[in-house]
């Protein structure tokens, strides 16, 4: 079962929250010991049944602290190597891999070089990684088996695999992480990224953001993909933009088409 991370401290007044994936991990919060008077005798106590006293214990531990610690370790490793890392989330079939192929083509043709590599999460097959290698990108698959999302530890192992294959972080400008196609669970897991993109294909409809507010709320940028199909699917663009604004007011919005190349240059600028 997937769980989200928690921001903010339980026993204080609500404070300003950073987006969860950039919140510095405080790992464990010191549990507050209870004052001696709080220990109460068990109501069921009788001479024949020696049940001990009950004690209330304030804990305040984030359930995903373990993942967050690994994410911070990832973050430090990426920063030390000067690599920008992007986590790409979307529903299955929104065009993540095609978009990465388009980015690879445009980056290769650009005057300013951009050394990119990709980690691809999927439950099964290494097909996406193979496609991306064919497009000229160093790519390592992360085959999750049953896990419907990527976690920070999987990304750490993926980076180790890239290094072992001769694509060390030191030689990279940009590491892209194509998350498992899933609009629910991946959102909960900080991978140590600098930027979180959520893709929304025009064929998915304008109300998708309203149906997955938690995921869209965590996006730094929402990328509307397959824009070349907008007319064919009667995409209600203004409504989509309003819906994105309503659930993700802090997110930038870009519109791209991997097929036509529209908006790819703008996306590259954001990623550089």
Going residue by residue from 196 to 235, which x/- string records binding to other proteins, judged by CB under 8 A? --------------x--xxx-x------------------
Nearer to other proteins, 26 or 228 (CB): 26
- Cα–Cα distance for residue pair 218/194, rounded to 1 Å: 12
Angstrom distance (rounded) from CA 259 to CA 239: 24
Structure tokens at 268: 């590259």
Does 249 contact other proteins by CB under 8 A?
yes
Burial of 168 (C-beta count, 10 Å sphere; 0-12/13-18/19+): middle
Q: How many CA atoms lie within 13 A of 124 on its CB side?
A: 1
**Least Å from the CB of residue 9 to other proteins:** 9
Region binding other proteins by CB under 8 A among candidate stretches 61-69, 154-162, 173-181, 259-267: 61-69
Interface with other proteins, residue 87, by CB under 8 A: no
Only segment of 3-11, 74-82, 122-130, 170-178 that touches other proteins (CB under 8 A): 3-11
- Out of 79, 125, 246, 272, the only residue in the binding site for other proteins (CB under 8 A) is 246
Asked if residue 113 binds other proteins (CB under 8 A), the reply is: no
The yes or no reply on residue 94 touching other proteins (CB under 8 A) is no
Q: Is 52 in the site for other proteins (CB under 8 A)?
A: yes
Instruction: Give the shortest CB-197-to-other proteins separation in angstroms.
Output: 17
Query: What distance in Å separates the CA atoms of residue 272 and residue 264, rounded to the nearest whole number?
Result: 12
Residue 248 Cβ vs other proteins, minimum distance, rounded to whole Å: 8
CB of 45 to other proteins, least distance (A): 8
Choose between 4 and 126: whose C-beta lies nearer to other proteins.
Answer: 4
What is the chain's alpha carbon radius of gyration, rounded to the nearest angstrom?
22
Count CB neighbours of 34 within 10 A: 12
Select from 99, 72, 272 the least CA-distant residue to 173: 272
Nearest of 126, 122, 125, 131 to residue 101 by alpha carbon: 131
Residue 42 in contact with other proteins, rule: CB under 8 A: yes
Q: Give the distance from CA 7 to its chain's centroid.
A: 15
* Shortest CB 63 distance to other proteins, Å: 5
Q: Is the dihedral of CA 13, 18, 19, 21 positive or negative?
A: negative
Torsions phi, psi for 15 (to 5 deg): -110, 170
User: Which residues would be at the binding site for other proteins (CB under 8 A)?
Assistant: 1-8, 10, 14-17, 20, 31, 39, 42, 50-66, 184-185, 187-188, 210, 213-215, 217, 245-250
């Amino acid at each position: 079962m997937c769980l989200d991370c928690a921001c903010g401290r339980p026993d204080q007044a609500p404070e300003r929250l950073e987006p969860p994936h950039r919140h510095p991990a405080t790992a464990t919060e010191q549990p507050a010991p209870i004052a001696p008077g709080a220990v109460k005798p068990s109501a069921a106590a009788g001479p024949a049944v020696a049940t001990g006293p009950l004690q209330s214990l304030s804990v305040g531990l984030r359930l995903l602290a373990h993942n967050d610690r690994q994410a911070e370790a990832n973050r430090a490793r990426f920063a030390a190597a000067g690599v920008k890392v992007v986590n790409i989330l979307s529903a299955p079939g929104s065009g993540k891999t095609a978009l990465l192929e388009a980015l690879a083509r445009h980056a290769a043709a650009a005057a300013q070089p951009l050394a990119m590599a990709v980690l691809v999460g999927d439950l099964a097959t290494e097909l996406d990684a193979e496609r991306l290698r064919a497009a000229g990108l160093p790519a390592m698959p992360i085959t999750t088996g049953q896990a419907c999302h990527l976690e920070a530890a999987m990304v750490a192992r993926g980076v180790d695999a890239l290094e072992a294959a001769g694509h060390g972080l030191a030689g990279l400008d940009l590491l892209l992480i194509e998350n498992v196609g899933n609009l629910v669970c991946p959102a909960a897991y900080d991978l140590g990224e600098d930027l979180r993109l959520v893709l929304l294909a025009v064929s998915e409809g304008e109300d998708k953001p309203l149906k997955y507010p938690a995921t869209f709320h965590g996006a730094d940028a929402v990328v509307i993909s397959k824009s070349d199909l907008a007319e064919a699917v009667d995409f209600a663009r203004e409504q989509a933009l309003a819906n994105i604004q309503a659930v993700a007011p802090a997110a930038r919005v870009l519109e791209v088409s991997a097929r036509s190349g529209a908006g790819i240059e703008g996306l590259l600028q954001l990623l550089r």
